[in-house]
Amino acid sequence: MVRLAVLADVHGNLPALEAVLADVQQHSVDGIIVAGDLVGGGPQIAEPVLVCGHTHIPWKQEHDGRLAFNPGAVGGPLNGDVRAQYALLTWQDDHWQVEHQAVPYDLDRIRAAFRESGLLAEGGAFAQACLLAIETGQNVAGHFVSYVYGLAAEAGFDDCDVVPDAIWDRAVATFDWDGAAGN
């Protein structure tokens, strides 16, 4: 049996984090996963280095001896580079330094996995957009969803929770797949 504690949305609240960590120790966990939002809006801010994710775009910013960076994305970078991306964080010369890395991998394996798992067939246009994003390094899925919601708004469905199938079908037929993929 493996037991993991999963934390999220700490937002720089050190007393709350300390209470949770103390409680976690009582549950014999094998590890801790932090799902995000460690800092932001709280008074006790997450050290000289802030690591961000979720955007799939690598970047770094240094200011007043502090470093903030996004390592990019291992699976599905959105900066036009289709290689798997990560970062190396090194303590050197009395400060943290980050080096972004990009590693080529076999795209044919992920294409095959999309097909063989049934995701491409069952996931429809959204799965197609996700695969195209992986293949091109462009945010095709994001552009497609924005396009769908734009069509829904034009059709008078701008306040609906669920976009009607007819709008999705129209979007699939009229979306600029080549343009969204940067072709």
Question: Do residues 119 and 62 both lie within one domain?
Answer: no
DSSP bridge pairs for 42: none
| pLDDT at residue 124 greater than cutoff 70 | yes
Region 175-180 average pLDDT: 92
* % of the chain at pLDDT higher than 70: 91
Question: What pLDDT digit, counting tens, does each position of 89-98 carry?
Answer: 888 888 889 9
Encoded tokens for 156: 């008078």
Q: How confident is the model at residue 3 (pLDDT cuts 50, 70, 90)?
A: confident
Do the bridges between strand 66-70 and strand 59-63 make them parallel or antiparallel, or are there none, so unpaired? antiparallel
* Tokens 């293949």, residue located: 135
Indicate whether 117 and 88 sit together in one domain.
Answer: no
Asked whether the beta carbons of 71 and 50 are under 8 A apart, the reply is no
Residues 97 and 130 in one domain: no
pLDDT of residue 26: 93
Q: What pLDDT, on a 0 to 100 scale, did the predictor assign at position 43?
A: 62
CA angle 108/113/116 to nearest 5° reads 120
Rama region for 106: left / alpha / beta (φ>0; ψ in -120 to 50; rest)? beta
The answer to whether residues 163 and 145 belong to one domain is yes
Q: How far apart are the C-alpha atoms of 31 and 3, rounded to whole Å?
A: 7
Phi-psi domain of 74 (left: phi exceeds 0; alpha: psi -120 through 50; beta: other): alpha
Range of the domain at 117: 107-180
The reply to whether 114 and 170 lie within a common domain is: yes
Listed in sequence order, the residues at least 6 apart from 59 whose beta carbon sits closer than 8 Å to its beta carbon are: 69, 70
Q: Which amino acid is at 122?
A: E
User: In which band, very low, low, confident or very high, does the pLDDT at 110 lie, cut at 50, 70 and 90?
Assistant: very high
Among 103, 131, 161, residue at a domain's last position = 103
Q: How many domains does the chain have?
A: 2
When the pLDDT of each residue in the chain is averaged and rounded to a whole number, the result is: 88
Q: What is the DSSP letter of 88?
A: E
Predicted confidence at residue 40, as pLDDT, reads 63
For residue 2 the two structure tokens come to 């493996």
Same domain, 96 and 117: no
Structure tokens at 97: 């330094």
- CA 20 to chain centroid, in Å, comes to 25
Indicate the pairing of strand 4-7 with strand 31-34. parallel
- List, for residues 128-165, the tens digit of each pLDDT value: 999 999 999 999 999 999 999 999 999 999 888 899 99
Is residue 105 a contact partner of residue 84, using CB atoms and an 8 Å limit? Answer: yes
Instruction: Convert the pLDDT of each residue in 24-63 to its tens digit.
Output: 999 988 888 776 666 665 565 566 887 888 888 999 999 8
Contact assessment for residue 168 and residue 141, using Cβ atoms and an 8 Å cutoff:
no
Q: At 122, is the pLDDT very low, low, confident or very high (cuts 50, 70, 90)?
A: very high
119 and 97 share one domain: no
State which of 54, 85, 103 marks the end of a domain: 103
